[in-house]
């Protein structure tokens, strides 16, 4: 393959493209499309070519710095740092990535034409090697920031506009007189800036810098700009004693973009530039300065290939044929912005029958998927006939594509892969739909309230509540006088607490959930809360089917929606355990089965269990209690004492249970962090399992509570399935007085009201 493709790229006899030893179709299948594939060998070869050319052609010290604006991510920063390059950054963001990628701050050049005082202070604090000052405003900011440095002066470059117009697109010319960049030499600003900088006590001007444009093919133009910088330095030496120690003529060397473009060898560019610098210094009587080149495009463009999947096709007889791909101007704005030209090759869909493919060539225009007529990647290219599902590979995609990518039409930005010796490595993951909401804050603080057998929970969706509410806010929201009123808060769907397991239906990613008691404490699991959350998801059509997984701090559970409207839901709650270490219970490892303890001068027999939450079950069916003993009274009186027994280091839920027959229990509950409650799903699971464990009942068990009845099935391995009803109560918006951090006024209503509306 030719000069446009990465080193070692090849097309095989089946029209498969190979990059870095990896098949393009396999990369696309694994990582999706659009996909940007960077070849590591090409990146390293281009880096080494610059360093070697400078060493051969320039007889003094010299260094290559990567112009990060072409494209930067952590892995790329790490690679160029390993190659011994410096790096040129133009923002606080690029500086942050470079430093995180391992670049020593001393090897960082910081450019820009309107940096804030904060950005400059950040660069000073990091200890960057060189700051290129672009204008008088920045010079004054930097002088103020460095005034107290004493003898430890900050080395800077002055960026100059040498008055050289590069032969390139007007949008990427930067060195002529009419430009926003740099101090103009011809108008005298450059000299005035130098004098001001030389008089600043905390600054030392060690060099000058220029950048006249990008995608330049005439090395002589770049050489002319460098010569003008040296001429200026010579004049400033004779007038003001300025010594030129460092010279940065920038970068901007071009690359071929289509087959008809001539090659642009690095060696000849460096040779021409070095020769001009040596000649200009000799003519001016100057010592050779340290030479710093800052290439960007010519380091990374050839290394990357963009892969797109072919989709729709529109034929306009006698006019044009459009073939659309699944990317476009959001990942590569260059054709729309300044008419950049690209070429492409077809990569046949390997699942199709290659023998049946039409090999006829046709002239087509490759269009993107975005809602702009200007979203055209390539106009009028001759290719073999493209079919839906084919891959289209576009070379020279490494520079100023991803760097200028956007979320136009709210499209997630593509994944980026680095390939080497047949091994792909993800450098940047594909953005997700949730990533698109990461910076958004909702207009209102919406809530949805449901009830399940006497338990009522409020669902707060991260779409409206990017962070879980604080404990204070939870207490206000759950307060039944001043707030919405509820037995707890469900915050989700969020990131799952644990990875999906083979038990997850169809391998689907589980919905994450965090659960909070009305006192603001977080707990692990709730049967009623889980069914309410499942109903909330079902109402919003988020699950892929009637069976789906929910991840909690207490483990992974599976929901089963039993009817179309979601009013009856089963939960596979996980396994019940009586192991004291899992619950936990203080003391030696054991099963706590009808263990005797004394509470308030009363001897009780307790059984401890867990199904994510700790539970203490007390059966009211022996000589310890009167036959007519009130379960609710026991729960309210003894429950608080049992909850905080030293036996339970994490506190515990408490159930007082009376068996009615082999398949029916009656129960009253004191809930950890919530107090007396009308119903509890995990309490029902613990009570039913304990009744089976102690021989009082057999599965299935109906557990009757003041809030209603739940159906519990316990399998031989102690896995539990819980079934019950769920129904919506209301929905609305929570006022800032409840949702925020302002305190509840004593003896009065919250500052703001909760607008609750019945569910329609």
Confidence of residue 653 (pLDDT cuts 50, 70, 90): very high
Largest CA distance in the chain: 113
Whole-angstrom Cα distance, residue 188 to residue 277?
23
| pLDDT above 60: residue 592 | yes
pLDDT score at 744: 39
Confidence of residue 281 (pLDDT cuts 50, 70, 90): very high
Over residues 396-416, the mean pLDDT reads 96
Over residues 291-312, the mean pLDDT reads 96
pLDDT score at 494: 92
Whole-angstrom Cα distance, residue 724 to residue 700?
13
pLDDT score at 758: 31
| pLDDT above 70: residue 503 | no
| pLDDT above 90: residue 581 | yes
Question: Considering the domain 56-300 in this protein, what is its CATH number?
Answer: 3.20.20.10
What is the sign of the dihedral through the CA atoms of 695, 697, 701 and 702? negative
CATH architecture of 10-32+304-428: Beta Barrel (2.40)
Kindly report the average pLDDT of the chain as a whole number: 89
The CATH class that applies to domain 441-565 reads alpha beta
Over residues 476-492, the mean pLDDT reads 92
pLDDT score at 482: 85
| pLDDT above 90: residue 214 | no
Whole-angstrom Cα distance, residue 410 to residue 593?
57
Domains 56-300 and 441-565 share a fold: no
Whole-angstrom Cα distance, residue 572 to residue 713?
9
Structure tokens at 610: 């867990």
Angle of helix 189-199 relative to helix 219-240, nearest 10 degrees, comes to: 50
Element of type H or E holding 51 = helix 40-57
Query: Would you say 157 and 130 are in contact if contact means Cβ atoms under 8 Å apart?
Result: yes
Cα 410 to chain centroid, rounded = 15
Over residues 193-199, the mean pLDDT reads 95
Element of type H or E holding 275 = helix 266-284
Q: Pick the range with the lowest mean pLDDT from 11-20, 77-86, 145-154, 611-620.
A: 145-154
Query: Would you say 181 and 135 are in contact if contact means Cβ atoms under 8 Å apart?
Result: no
Confidence of residue 349 (pLDDT cuts 50, 70, 90): low
Fold of 595-725: Diaminopimelate Epimerase; Chain A, domain 1 (3.10.310)
Confidence of residue 173 (pLDDT cuts 50, 70, 90): very low
Tell me the CA distances in angstroms from 285 to 24, 277, 318, one per residue in order: 55, 12, 66
Domain boundaries, the chain: 10-32+304-428, 56-300, 441-565, 595-725
> pLDDT tens digits for 526-577?
899 999 999 999 999 999 899 999 999 988 999 999 999 999 999 999 999 9
| pLDDT above 50: residue 606 | yes
Strand stretches in 553-707, DSSP E: 555-561, 568-575, 595-599, 602-610, 614-619, 653-661, 664-671, 675-677, 701-705
Positions annotated as catalytic residues are 371
Higher pLDDT among residues 506 and 25, named by residue? 25
Share of residues in the chain with pLDDT > 90 (%): 75
Confidence of residue 500 (pLDDT cuts 50, 70, 90): very low
pLDDT score at 2: 82
> pLDDT tens digits for 124-166?
999 999 999 999 999 999 999 998 877 789 999 999 988 776 4
Q: Pick the range with the lowest mean pLDDT from 152-166, 229-243, 583-597.
A: 152-166
> pLDDT tens digits for 317-337?
999 999 999 999 999 999 999
109 beta partners: 88, 130
Least Cα distance to 535 among 382, 399, 726 occurs for 726
Confidence of residue 629 (pLDDT cuts 50, 70, 90): confident
Confidence of residue 351 (pLDDT cuts 50, 70, 90): low
Judged by DSSP in three states, 340 sits in coil
pLDDT score at 623: 67
Q: Model's pTM, two decimal places?
A: 0.68
């Amino acid at each position: 393959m030719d000069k446009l493709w990465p080193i070692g790229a090849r097309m095989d006899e089946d029209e498969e493209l190979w990059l870095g030893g990896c098949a393009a179709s396999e990369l696309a299948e694994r990582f999706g499309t659009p996909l940007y594939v960077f070849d590591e060998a090409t990146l390293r070869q281009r880096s080494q070519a610059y360093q070697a050319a400078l060493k051969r052609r320039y007889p003094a010290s010299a260094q290559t710095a990567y112009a990060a604006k072409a494209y930067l991510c952590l892995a790329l920063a790490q690679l160029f740092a390993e190659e011994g390059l410096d790096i040129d950054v133009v923002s606080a963001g690029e500086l942050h990535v470079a430093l995180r990628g391992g670049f020593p701050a001393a090897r960082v050049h910081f450019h820009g034409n309107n940096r804030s005082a904060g950005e400059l202070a950040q660069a000073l604090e990091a200890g960057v090697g060189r700051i290129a000052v672009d204008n008088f405003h920045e010079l004054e900011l930097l002088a103020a920031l460095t005034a107290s440095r004493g003898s430890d002066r900050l080395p800077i470059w002055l960026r100059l506009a040498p008055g050289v117009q590069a032969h390139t697109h007007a949008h990427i010319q930067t060195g002529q007189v009419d430009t926003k960049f740099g101090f103009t030499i011809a108008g005298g600003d450059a000299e005035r800036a130098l004098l001001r900088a030389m008089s600043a006590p905390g600054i030392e001007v060690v060099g000058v810098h220029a950048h006249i444009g990008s995608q330049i093919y005439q090395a002589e133009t770049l050489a002319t700009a460098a010569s003008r910088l040296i001429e200026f330095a010579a004049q400033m030496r004779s007038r003001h004693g300025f010594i030129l120690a460092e010279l940065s003529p920038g970068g901007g060397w071009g690359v071929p973009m289509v087959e008809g473009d001539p090659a642009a060898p690095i060696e000849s560019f460096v040779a021409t530039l070095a020769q001009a610098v040596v000649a200009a210094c000799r003519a001016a009587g100057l010592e050779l300065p340290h030479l710093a080149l800052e290439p960007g495009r010519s380091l990374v463009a050839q290394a990357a290939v963009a892969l797109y999947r072919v989709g729709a096709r529109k034929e306009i007889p006698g006019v044009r044929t459009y073939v659309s791909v699944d990317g476009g101007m959001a990942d590569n704005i260059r054709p729309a912005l300044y008419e950049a030209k690209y070429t492409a090759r077809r990569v046949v869909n390997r699942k199709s029958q290659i023998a049946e493919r039409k090999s006829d060539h046709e002239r087509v225009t490759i269009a993107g998927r975005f809602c702009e007529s200007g979203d055209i990647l390539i106009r009028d290219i001759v290719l073999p006939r493209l079919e839906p599902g084919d891959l289209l590979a576009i070379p020279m995609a490494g520079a100023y594509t991803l760097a200028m990518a956007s979320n136009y039409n709210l499209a997630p930005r593509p994944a980026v892969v680095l390939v080497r010796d047949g091994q792909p490595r993800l450098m940047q993951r594909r953005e997700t739909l949730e990533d698109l909401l990461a910076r958004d804050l909702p207009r209102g603080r919406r809530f949805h309230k449901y009830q399940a057998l006497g338990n009522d929970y409020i669902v707060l969706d991260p779409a409206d509540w990017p962070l879980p509410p604080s404990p204070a806010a939870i207490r206000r929201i759950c307060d039944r006088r001043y707030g919405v009123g509820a037995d707890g808060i469900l915050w989700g769907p969020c990131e799952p607490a644990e990875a999906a397991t083979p038990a997850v239906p169809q391998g689907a990613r589980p919905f994450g959930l965090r659960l909070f008691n009305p006192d603001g404490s977080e707990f692990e699991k709730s049967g009623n809360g889980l069914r309410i959350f499942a109903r909330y998801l079902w109402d919003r059509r988020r699950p892929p089917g009637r069976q789906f997984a929910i991840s909690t701090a207490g483990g992974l559970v599976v929901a089963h929606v039993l009817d179309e409207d979601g009013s009856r839901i089963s939960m596979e709650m996980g396994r019940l355990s009586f192991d004291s270490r899992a619950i936990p219970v203080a003391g030696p490892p054991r099963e706590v089965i009808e263990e005797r303890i004394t509470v308030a001068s009363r001897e009780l027999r307790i059984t401890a269990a867990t199904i994510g939450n700790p539970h203490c079950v007390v059966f009211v069916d022996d000589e310890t209690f009167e036959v007519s003993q009130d379960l609710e009274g026991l729960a309210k009186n003894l429950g608080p004492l049992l909850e905080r027994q030293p036996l339970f280091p994490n506190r515990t839920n408490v159930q007082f249970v009376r068996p009615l027959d082999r398949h029916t229990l009656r129960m009253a509950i004191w809930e950890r962090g919530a107090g007396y409650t009308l119903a509890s799903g995990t309490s029902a699971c613990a009570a039913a399992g304990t009744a089976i464990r102690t021989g009082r009942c057999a599965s299935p068990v109906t557990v009757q509570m003041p809030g209603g009845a739940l159906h519990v099935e316990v399998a031989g391995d102690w896995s539990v399935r819980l079934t019950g009803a769920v129904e919506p109560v209301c929905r609305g918006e929570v006022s800032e007085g409840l949702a925020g951090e302002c305190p509840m006024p004593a003896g009065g209503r919250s500052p703001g009201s909760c607008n609750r509306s019945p569910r329609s």
